Structure 1
Amino acid sequence: MSTLVSRAAARLLVVPVLASACLFTPAPQAHADDPDRAVLHVLPAETAEGGAADQPQTADTAAQNKAEKAHKAKKRAAKRVARVMATVRSRAGKPYVYGAAGPNAFDCSGLVQWTYRHVGKNLPRTSGAQAGATRRVGRPQVGDLVFFTSGGRVYHVGIYAGNHTLWHASRPGVPVRRDRIWSGSVFYGRVR
């Protein structure tokens, strides 16, 4: 009986030791002379599709996947910017009315909120709150928001249209239109 117990105990110790030795043993380098083609050894794990990973991934493939994801993200962002600009241009000529948020009359923050809502982004109602809901950027891109400041507070907002211009609803008697940015007291925010 004691021999049986000692054999069972030995098996319980040997199996985990062998398994851990296999897991922590470095894999041979298949392409030691070409580091760009080195094989990344991936242990079987759940993949995004829910199945087990059954093929090792090369460094080339990993870089290619990363580049593909970045390219798709840029395309999505470009499409959103195009929709933002088409949407704000569609309101050209609509009258300025204080407190109005569209679709037939706007104030500055109402125009921004209405435009971004139509591309699936919810922004707060006032220009100051919109400034707090965006990420500040130093180099604006088309579609970013332009915030005008005086005395430390935001008093106006528009949508950057490139070449130092913006779309905005500026004041009573002036309809929604594209204008040059007239002040140096501005900062830019990107909608997240």
Structure 2
Amino acid sequence: MLKKRAAVLLLGATMLFAGAGNAFANESELNETVNEVVGTPYKWGGTTVQGFDCSGFIRYVFNQFETKLPRTSRSQAKVGMKVEKEELRPGDLVFFNTNGIGISHAGIYIGEGKFAHSSSSKGVSISKLSDSYYKKRYVTARRIVTGEHYAAMIEDIHESDDARA
């Protein structure tokens, strides 16, 4: 009985940590694109995999889906459709006031209360909207991609691989 319990615990722990490196529950095209650049350093004005600022990171990700966006987070917050926080879905942009004078930071909502962004302290990383720092500074969200473009962005990688086979 004790050996059986130990085996079950070991199996559960293995399953829990096997996916720990991945920030997402599923493997969509959006998830894969973001995961490829997680850890990229922050660079003010950066728009490449050598270094991103927050809006450069967003533009890079959305360029992979042939969606053009303005250069700054402040101007990105003016495009698309406003979305209430309770209605966020993966791919929506989230905006923050981190400097006290308006929108100054942005990220891409990835689901489960999390967003991907390029922070000046950690580079491209995943944070929670509920983190006290971001919760206090949240301003708005915008939906940029809809319809077929959105379906392609959130398509499960394994489904698209099956379709190509």
Give yes or no for TM over 0.5.
yes
Who is 2:126 aligned against? 178
Which AA in structure 2 matches 1:157? A
What SS class does the counterpart of residue 179 from structure 1 fall into?
strand
1:121 offset after TM fit, Å?
0.2
Paired residue total: 111
Whether 2:50 is the aligned partner of 1:104: answer: yes
Who is 2:90 aligned against? 142
Which ranges in structure 1 are unaligned for 5 or more consecutive residues? 1-80
Alpha-carbon distance between aligned partners in 2 of 1:136 and 1:82, rounded to the nearest angstrom: 23
What SS class does the counterpart of residue 28 from structure 2 fall into?
helix
State TM-score, norm by structure 1: 0.54
Q: 1:55-80: per-residue Cα shift (whole Å, max 9, x none)? A: xxxxxxxxxxxxxxxxxxxxxxxxxx
Alpha-carbon distance between aligned partners in 1 of 2:32 and 2:144, rounded to the nearest angstrom: 17
Cα pair distance change 1:111/1:175, threshold 3 Å: same
What SS class does the counterpart of residue 113 from structure 1 fall into?
helix
Who is 1:153 aligned against? 102
Alpha-carbon distance between aligned partners in 2 of 1:133 and 1:166, rounded to the nearest angstrom: 19
Larger Rg: 1
Query: Cα RMSD over matched residues?
Result: 1.8
More contact order relative to length (CA 8 Å, sep ≥ 6): 2
State TM-score, norm by structure 2: 0.62
Who is 1:116 aligned against? 62
**Equivalent residues in 2 for 1:13-162, closer than 5 Å:** 82-138=28-84, 139-149=87-97, 151=100, 153-162=102-111
What SS class does the counterpart of residue 119 from structure 1 fall into?
coil
Cα pair distance change 1:140/1:83, threshold 3 Å: same
What is the percentage of aligned positions where both structures have the same residue? 32
1:180 offset after TM fit, Å?
1.2
User: Is the Cα contact below 8 Å between 1:99 and 1:106 reproduced in 2?
Assistant: yes
Alpha-carbon distance between aligned partners in 2 of 1:149 and 1:175, rounded to the nearest angstrom: 18
Which AA in structure 1 matches 2:60? W
Which ranges in structure 2 are unaligned for 5 or more consecutive residues? 1-26, 146-165
Which AA in structure 2 matches 1:130? Q
Alpha-carbon distance between aligned partners in 1 of 2:30 and 2:101, rounded to the nearest angstrom: 28
